[in-house]
Chains A and B, each alone.
Chain A
Amino acid sequence: MGIIPLIVALVFVVAIGAYSSPSYAATASQTVTVTVPEAISIVVPDVNFGNITAGTEGTSPAFTVSNTGNVKIDLYVKADAGSFTSPNATDTIPITGFKIFSNVTGSYAPFLTSFQKIYDNMDKAAQGSGAPTTWSTTLKLSVPAFTEDGTYTITNTYAAVKHNTALP
């Protein structure tokens, strides 16, 4: 037997061995969990109503309420008192003539001294850019005839609650 047939035979044997020998492979799965904390947040700008003549109804400039958090919210509003008061006038302006344009009803809703919903399921801020979801609204106020001149003030409170709060 010559050397060359011997080498060919060895190569053949090695090839057969390599082909027939068992191979081992392992797969493992990894679960990665990350919790993104929820944050609730709103921004409400100041609104300058200006002057309203007694006996007429005035409309405020449009202003924007922003959801700057990462959860959907329900937005509520209330007036903190039953009337506008003035430090230098004895008259008051009742909130019965004070309204806000509501996204829930699509019309002007009279203010109450308890919270009523004015926006249901307001979307969160945009992912990535963080651009808030905004909503534009206006206020209306009727000033009774012969109301004493002066500066009249009230505080409105806008409340945000995470949407899908379980109802009773």
Chain B
Amino acid sequence: MKARHLTAFLMIIFVLGYVAPALATGLWASPADFRYNLKPGDSVSGEVTVRNIGKEELSVNVTKKRLLMDSVNLVYSDRGIAQWITIEGNTTFKLKAGESRKIRFTVNAPGKINYLDAAGALVIRGVPVQNATAGQIQIVQGVELVVPIYVGLPGPIIESLKLEDHKAPTVLLSFMPGKFTYKLKNTGTVQANMTGAIELTGITGKQRVPIDGVVYPEDSYTLVETWKPGWLEFGPYSARTEIKYGRFHQTKSIETTDTIIVIPAWLIILLVLGATVWMIRKKGIEPPVSIKIERKK
């Protein structure tokens, strides 16, 4: 009897597992790309059909981008051809399973074409409207169809950050914040994600000031970091700055070295006290109050 129940239970699980559809996100678009031979000032229009071929309702977003790529990475940019493309109608809409929609666009070439800026794309992104995943770790899976619009070639991915100028304090007192200023310019084509640190090495040991930031292409960025010596720090310090940067991994670096003299506050206090005592003794100034200490009888 127990075996019969178990068999029936397993059968139900099997049938439910077979019949219940696995949820999936799917998008279809046609054509897969556009190739135009445009001359400066020319204009052309095109149309893409997009369809939800998955089993879930999707929130769809269509954007226009310039493509930057190498053999492994794909990066979007809003410059170049991205500014020549105009998408007609709504760029955000919902598609139920099986529904489709046409997206029209126009490319207006500028008076001067840089053909290395001229590989663009309509990026059609679909994400399930409802998160159907379960468990404590939930992964929502979205899909993106990249429909290239070629007038020229995709731009190269160039990671390049230049240090145009930098300033560091030469003399610091205890508790006096010193500013390290680095003027950086991104001369590449992709954003430079920065990490790194200023390592200050002196008689009393090492101190580390972390660096973090992002510089976008063609932007200038002033990085300012502050170090404040405490009671214990004194004497000459070597400040070695390493700024690691890269779009994906921080594999490139910029290095600088500076020397800072830290004058401790306690030394100044001691000097002032010493000078005062010396002055008092030299001039024979009697103190206005005298305290006599006597032994108890």
- Residues of A with Cβ closer than 8 Å to B? 37-52, 58, 60, 66, 68-69, 71, 76, 80, 84, 93, 104, 112, 114-117, 139, 141, 143, 149-162, 165-168
Contact = CB atoms under 8 A, between A and B. Distances in A.
B145 interface: yes
Contact of B140 (A116, A150, A154): A154
Interface stretch (B66-74, B233-241, B266-274): B66-74
B38 to A, nearest CB: 16
Given A166-B153, A167-B71, 5 more contacts: A71-B32, A114-B247, A154-B138, A157-B127, A161-B146
Interface size class of B (residues with CB under 8 A): 35 or more
B196 interface: no
Contacts of A158: 141-144
A42 B143 contact: yes
B8 interface: no
B23 A46 contact: yes
A152 B138 contact: yes
Contacts of B32: 38-40, 69, 71, 162
Q: Is the interface of B mostly helix, strand, loop or mixed?
A: strand
A102 to B, nearest CB: 10
B119 A166 contact: yes
B44 to A, nearest CB: 18
A39 B138 contact: no
Contacts of A69: 28, 32
B145 A114 contact: no
B137 A49 contact: yes
Given A39-B32, A60-B139, A117 B74 contact: yes
B26 A41 contact: yes
A94 to B, nearest CB: 13
A153 B148 contact: no
A43 B26 contact: yes
Contacts of B139: 46-47, 49, 60, 139, 153-156
Nearest to B148: A165
Given A60-B139, A160-B145, A47 B133 contact: yes
B31 interface: yes
Contacts of A104: 72
B33 A162 contact: yes
Contacts of B154: 165-168
Nearest to A104: B72
